[in-house]
A and B are shown apart, each in its own frame.
Chain A
């Protein structure tokens, strides 16, 4: 009997271990997904930290059109627009543009803008030196703010990309301000 029981317990232990490991793996998929998107540049995710100023020279030989696009998520009572619809830039040239947000409600609110670049594979070549999306944006009731974005397009951008579209979705996070991932300022 003993040898049998031992056998069983050892096997059960191993199987429980696999179960726990797979439970952990389920959660591991979250960072893995981000790393995967980062490495491949899929998903149009831009880096969520400020980039250094460009070190390479400005590529005067070509121009890239950068289009700006914005929307609010759900029924958020904000007006949120780029002040400029599109701009032609030389790769490597640092450019500053503004996005304007007006809180049309009677309450002070906090927004969080989430950027996305299309085509997705060009996202890794779009560098933001400063962006309002790095921080939460509190806007008082009825107020309007201009929010800056300072960016440049990497000169290494493959020539097949001539137009990049940068879109922002503004989320209402007034209710979840306590959310951990936001308060420690880690996220985009």
Chain B
């Protein structure tokens, strides 16, 4: 192994420094460059998807139809969902994996650097196609991010072809990224870095990568079936031809539920890294964390029909999926208790990454609880397709996945740029985000329980006050993210040198290389104690 890397070292000598200009970014095979590209791409998508959310919230500020017409409203909910899931959260995690996984396991780069370049650069095309479809005659996709048949087959317009094509490209990109992560982790670990010594971020990403290659192809199959049903006369989901529209939901959610764990497992890894650093203690239970992650991943394959309780499943099915879903909250609880136990009697300090992590733990748990409420089949008959579901998944995705990504950026930004971020601005960003995100999503629980349906551009008058409040929260949250953008640019531009070990309680190989991390790291594998 060490011989191998010695040789690599030799080869690298002649192109030690990146070439300048746009070509550097187009042709780069460097994991740090690609990580940076992924992260900026995700951030841009986050802002674009955010603008769509603001269109939605502007329309919903008051009852009645005032700003956009209902069809465009539906396009906004659809594309907002697709962009946030596939364009913001997933690429951001892949970007973090690119930056951090090689450094954390003492590898010189990702194992398949050329494929790495491809898997990033096809992404902008996918989203370009998706966004352009909005400008087609008849508008873009309007059937929701879940593209249920027959909405996406019989009743959709021709932008569906572009939608399918772009989802295919997104899927290929994620699969290539996942294969790269797995090969890197299996083959490029520094000598002595056994599996059970790997940092938890690496562990959670390894399991996520396996989930990705297991379910992204199923999504590709589902969109392909939609395409052939719509254009080539097949009848997978068309009852008139012997198909079944309910089967679409089974196939979609067989992908869809593991997908939501794809978006949260890396977050668990991030929080498990940050909490010990600022508690100045080891993680309370490392191996229990690994096993909890693995069992969540396995269980995620047998709970998909909790999205389909109201489709008329037989009682046995309802009960099976209800109990399996509740079972998942056991390993999830193990994790939450693990973080709390890590903080317990630790010498805690509250730097910004830690603040976001603590917010994550509390708010993600709220999302988990509303998930548990939804898992109760008879209750779900009332909550299904209401704003309660919207509240649930935004608590787990925004204050869960996205808060963890923000925490990770604050945690590793000094390592990436060599500069400390502006603490005052960061605090402002944190408090603005924390307050506005709750103003935005918490009242959704109430309007949902009171019966306000999701994905509707108008609503009954009694929901007006809460909706106005929600919209105010939405705009406040959206603008708070501009503070983040400003802070990032400032941090990259300015000079507030940090030492190699930015956080004195931090643990891990990434803190042994200088800050900013040089273009090539660990060309000689480090010694693992």
Interface residues of A (CB under 8 A from B): 1, 3-4, 7-8, 11-12, 15-16, 18-20, 22-23, 25-27, 29-30, 33, 42-43, 48, 73, 112, 114, 120-121, 169, 171-173, 176, 178-182, 186-188
- Contact present for A30 and B236 (CB under 8 Å): yes
> Could you say which of A25, A29, A112, A186 has the most chain B C-beta atoms within 10 Å of its C-beta?
A29
CA distance A187 to B241 in the complex (A): 7
CB distance from A110 to the nearest CB of B (A): 10
Q: Is B362 an interface residue (CB 8 A)?
A: no
Residue among A23, A27, A33, A172 making CB contact with B244, cutoff 8 Å: A33
B 198-238 to A, binary, CB cutoff 8 A, 1 in contact else 0: 00000000000000011111111110010000000111100
- Between A and B, how many residue pairs show CB distances below 8 Å? 110
Nearest neighbor of A11 in chain B, beta-carbon distance: B183
Residue B242 lies at the interface, judged by CB distance under 8 Å to chain A: yes
User: Is B305 engaged at the interface, CB distance under 8 Å to the other chain?
Assistant: no
Neighbouring B residues of A182 by C-beta, 8 Å:
235, 241-242
Q: A1-B7, A23-B221, A26-B251 are in contact. Are A114 and B235 (CB under 8 A)?
A: no
B179 near A15: Cβ-Cβ < 8 Å: yes
CB-contacts of B238-281 with A (<8 A): 239-242, 244, 246-247, 250-251, 254-255
Question: Which of A4, A11, A23, A173 is within 8 Å of B217, CB to CB?
Answer: A23
- For B187, give its contact among A7, A176, A180, A187 (CB under 8 Å): A7
Whether B242 contacts A11 by the Cβ 8 Å rule is no
Given that A29-B254, A121-B314 are known contacts, is A173 also in contact with B179, CB under 8 Å in the complex? no
Residues A19 and B175 in contact in the complex (CB < 8 Å), given A169-B239, A181-B235: yes
CB neighbours of A26 from chain B (8 A): 217-222, 251, 255
Q: B251: shortest Cβ distance to chain A, in Å?
A: 5
Given A8-B187, A11-B183, A19:B7 Cβ within 8 A = no
* Bound CA–CA A122/B36 (angstroms): 59
| B interface SS class | helix
The residue from B7, B186, B215, B247 contacting A22, defined by CB atoms under 8 A apart: B215
B182 contacts A by Cβ under 8 Å: yes
Cβ of A34 to closest chain B Cβ, rounded Å: 8
| In contact, A176 and B233 (Cβ under 8 angstroms) | yes
Main secondary structure of the interface of A (DSSP, over half): helix
Q: Which residue from B1, B213, B236, B241 sits with its C-beta under 8 Å from A15?
A: B213
Chain B residues within 8 Å of A, Cβ to Cβ: 1, 4, 7-8, 111-112, 175, 179, 182-183, 186-187, 213-222, 225, 233-236, 239-242, 244, 246-247, 250-251, 254-255, 314, 317
Q: Are B234 and A11 in contact (CB under 8 A)?
A: no
List the B side residues contacting A176 at CB < 8 Å. Answer: 233, 240-241
Q: How far is the CA of A186 from the CA of B235 in the complex (A)?
A: 12
**What separation, in Å, do the CA atoms of A173 and B233 have in the docked complex?**
11
Nearest A residue to B221 via CB reads A26
Which residues of the partner chain B approach A12 to less than 8 Å between Cβ atoms? 112, 179, 183
Report B184 CB to chain A, min CB distance, Å.
Answer: 9
Distance in angstroms from B259 CB to nearest chain A CB is 13
Across the two chains, which residue of chain B brings its CB closest to A171? B240
Task: Give the distance in Å from the alpha carbon of A23 to the alpha carbon of B4 in the complex.
Answer: 35
In the bound complex, residues from chain B placing their C-beta under 8 Å from that of A121 are 314
Once A22-B215, A26-B218, A33-B244 are accepted as A-B contacts, the answer to whether A4 and B233 lie under 8 Å apart by CB is no
Which of A121, A173, A179 gathers the greatest number of chain B CB atoms within 10 Å? A179
Tell me whether B183 and A29 are in contact (CB under 8 A): no
CB distance from B428 to the nearest CB of A (A): 44
In the complex, chain B residues whose CB is within 8 Å of the CB of A1: 4, 7-8
| Nearest A residue to B236, CB-CB | A30
Q: What is the bound-complex CA distance between A140 and B206, given in angstroms? A: 62
Query: Cβ of B239: which chain A residues have Cβ within 8 Å of it?
Result: 73, 114, 169, 171
Q: How far is the CB of A131 from chain B (nearest CB, A)?
A: 14
From the candidates B111, B183, B218, name the one contacting A25 in the complex (CB within 8 A): B218
Determine the chain A residues whose CB is within 8 A of the CB of B233 once the complex forms: 176, 178-180
* Cβ distance B405 to chain A, nearest Cβ, rounded Å: 26
Residue in B7, B219, B241 with the greatest tally of chain A CB atoms within 10 Å: B241
Complex interface: chain A residues within 8 A of B218 (CB): 22-23, 25-26, 29
A33 touches B187 (CB 8 A): no
Knowing A114-B240, A179-B234, the reply to whether A29 touches B251 (Cβ < 8 A) is yes
- In whole angstroms, how far apart are the Cα atoms of A188 and B244 in the complex? 12
Q: In the complex the two chains form, what is the Cα distance from A1 to B7 in whole Å?
A: 7
Q: Which residues does chain A contribute within 8 Å of B250, judged by CB atoms?
A: 29, 33
Residue of A nearest to B242 (CB): A187
- What is the bound-complex CA distance between A180 and B235, given in angstroms? 9
Cα A176 to Cα B317 in complex, Å, equals 34
Min CB gap B241→A, angstroms: 5
Check if B217 sits within 8 Å of A3, measured CB to CB.
Answer: no
Task: Select the residue from B112, B179, B216 with max chain A CB neighbours within 10 A.
Answer: B179
A25 vs B219: C-alpha distance when bound (angstroms): 11
B319 vs chain A, min Cβ distance (A): 14
A4–B3 Cα distance when bound, in Å, is 10
In the bound complex, do residue A180 and residue B234 qualify as a contact, i.e. CB atoms below 8 Å apart? yes
Q: A94 to B1, alpha carbons, bound, how many Å?
A: 77
In the bound assembly, the distance between CA atoms of A11 and B7 in angstroms comes to 21
Q: Sample 8 A-B pairs with CB under 8 A, ordered by A number.
A: A3-B4, A25-B218, A29-B250, A114-B240, A171-B240, A176-B241, A180-B234, A181-B241
Chain A neighbourhood of B225, CB < 8 A: 27, 30
A178→B187 CA distance, assembly (Å):
52
Q: Is the CB of B179 within 8 A of A16?
A: yes
Is the Cβ of B242 less than 8 Å from the Cβ of A120? no
Contact B182 A15 (CB under 8 A): yes
Rounded to whole angstroms, the CA-CA distance of A42 and B186 in the bound complex is 44
- CA gap between A33 and B111 in the complex, in Å: 39
